[in-house]
Amino acid sequence: MTTSVGQSPDRPQGETGGSEIDATPFTLSGGPLDTGTAREVLSGRLSGSQATPPASPPAGGGGAKTGSAHPTKEGAEPPAGGASGAAPAHLSRYNTNKVSTSEENPRSDAESATRQSRRNDRYENQRAVWDITTLKRVEKCGRATHGGLGDGRAALVMNTGTGVAHWSGFCFCGSIWACPVCSAKIRASRADEIARAVAGHIVNGGNAWMITLTARHKKWHDLEPLFDAVAKGFRKIISGAPWAGAPKRGVKGEKHRLGVRGYIRSMEVTYGTRNGWHPHLHIVLLTQDETADALMAAMARWDAVWRREMKKKGFEPSKEHGTHWAHVKGGEQAGEYIAKVQEGKGHLGHEMARGDLKQGRLGTLAPFELLTYFRKTGDLDVVPVWHEYEQGTHNRRAITWSRGLRKELLEDEPEKTDEEVAAEEVGGDVWAVFPAETLRIIRRVPGLRARLLDIAENGGFPDLIAELTRLHLDYETERNETE
């Protein structure tokens, strides 16, 4: 093994040396955030005639070879304030340069191309959130290094067993709500746990019911009271004598009549400019040997209690909405619940946990779609909306299991916190270690973090080194560069 160092003595400071960066700014005209327009932008249907680029490029992003996509300085303090605060002054010229599509996915098979495209979107949304987040941990995530590889250093690592490359050495925030990168990792892990647990329950003769609880919401409703009402409304359903019975008096409750083994609860939040915030619950109720009469009685009681609790808070759902029950398929199809979680669709774990992959429907946007829209348009009306979302979900749990259920279904499998899941690295071979100066360039250039991983996965070590050399990026490696 040899140690080699890629050097670029002729590289001007702050330049990448590449010509693939498209620095054309893109902004929208026509007023405040509109979900319909956002959907047009996200689906690529907005024509160029409807967008109006500014007369001159923003400061710090004007050259085709510049390494900075943000007009702010690296390590700048995040904006302060909440949902009602005005957009920070330094965002007034915000726009995101884009890596050309031909470079973004130098790809082969469709499944990997989809995964890599989503990874690029997550990294770019993370870059966007760095400038607008009110949470310090989120601002540092994927940006600050933890020192494990030396001061200010990080590495590109390839796991040859899976063929997946990743970054090592960066701090992780562990936010399932506010960080596009950590959320994807956490939700993939949770979805896998849910899929395997429910499959095991069904294979062993149990039943599973997917229950959705929704509340009426209007544009003027703040997220926090809506979130509280939905969470507390569910707790009312699964508390008290109607649910638990009165064992001392020999009275059986609904839990006993349904043979409830436990439940898994997942909170999801979307946003629409017409009706505002939409927090809602998905619950998987695991039962055994329930009768049709007991099930019908439970459905009626859940609906009545839910409507009563939402009415108290001013969020009573319409007749068409409120509670919805669906039977999860039987044991013969349990295998589909253990389908590939990363990008798979159609299994229960995916439905419950993968809120980061879901697109809003009927004019609503999923939270990370707000970030995608923001970085594509620079629409500053997104900023106070994002701040309200960040603060309304901060320190709240997205996915919870009833007491003892996870241990019962997954036996001795250790339970990890969101932070532990986000920080967990799958390991592999270190292909390149980058000093702090190079990392600053990689972080600033749109699409470059994801593209280096794509090149490593598609072309291997030689192609990665060739690209680093082409871009005049300094690195260290212990591998033979002819491998």
220-242 pLDDT, tens digit each = 899 999 999 999 999 999 999 99
- Per-residue model confidence (pLDDT) at position 392: 96
Q: How far apart are CA 94 and CA 72, in angstroms?
A: 9
- Per-residue model confidence (pLDDT) at position 350: 52
Has residue 113 got a pLDDT over 90?
A: no
Based on the fold, state whether residues 412 and 433 are members of the same structural domain: no
What is the average per-residue pLDDT within 255-276?
A: 92
- Per-residue model confidence (pLDDT) at position 400: 93
* Mean pLDDT rounded to a whole number for the chain: 78
Q: What is the pTM of this model?
A: 0.77
- Domain range for 77 is 4-132+136-172+428-477
What is the average per-residue pLDDT within 70-89?
A: 37
Q: How far apart are CA 474 and CA 154, in angstroms?
A: 12
- Per-residue model confidence (pLDDT) at position 39: 73
Has residue 14 got a pLDDT over 80?
A: no
Based on the fold, state whether residues 95 and 38 are members of the same structural domain: yes
Based on the fold, state whether residues 167 and 283 are members of the same structural domain: no
**Inside any domain, residue 148:** yes
**Inside any domain, residue 328:** yes
**Inside any domain, residue 374:** no
Q: How confident is the model at residue 83 (pLDDT cuts 50, 70, 90)?
A: very low
Has residue 478 got a pLDDT over 50?
A: yes
What is the average per-residue pLDDT within 186-198?
A: 88
What is the average per-residue pLDDT within 385-410?
A: 95
Q: How confident is the model at residue 218 (pLDDT cuts 50, 70, 90)?
A: confident
Number of domains in the chain: 2
- Per-residue model confidence (pLDDT) at position 358: 55
Based on the fold, state whether residues 88 and 226 are members of the same structural domain: no
- Per-residue model confidence (pLDDT) at position 347: 53
Based on the fold, state whether residues 57 and 100 are members of the same structural domain: yes
- Per-residue model confidence (pLDDT) at position 348: 55
- Per-residue model confidence (pLDDT) at position 435: 97
Q: How confident is the model at residue 356 (pLDDT cuts 50, 70, 90)?
A: low
What is the average per-residue pLDDT within 313-325?
A: 88
Based on the fold, state whether residues 103 and 235 are members of the same structural domain: no
**Inside any domain, residue 54:** yes
Based on the fold, state whether residues 69 and 188 are members of the same structural domain: no
Has residue 72 got a pLDDT over 80?
A: no
Q: How confident is the model at residue 75 (pLDDT cuts 50, 70, 90)?
A: very low
Q: How far apart are CA 301 and CA 295, in angstroms?
A: 10
What is the secondary structure of 351-384 as a DSSP string? Answer: HHH-TTTPPP-TT-B-HHHHHHHHHHH--TTHHH
Based on the fold, state whether residues 90 and 168 are members of the same structural domain: yes
Question: Which residues, 6+ apart, have CB-to-CB distance to 172 below 8 Å?
Answer: 141, 142, 181, 182, 419, 422, 423
Nearest alpha carbon to residue 87 among 143, 147, 131, 139: 131
Has residue 452 got a pLDDT over 60?
A: yes
- Contact between 347 and 336 (Cβ < 8 Å): yes
Is the model more confident about 25 or about 433?
Answer: 433
- Per-residue model confidence (pLDDT) at position 316: 87
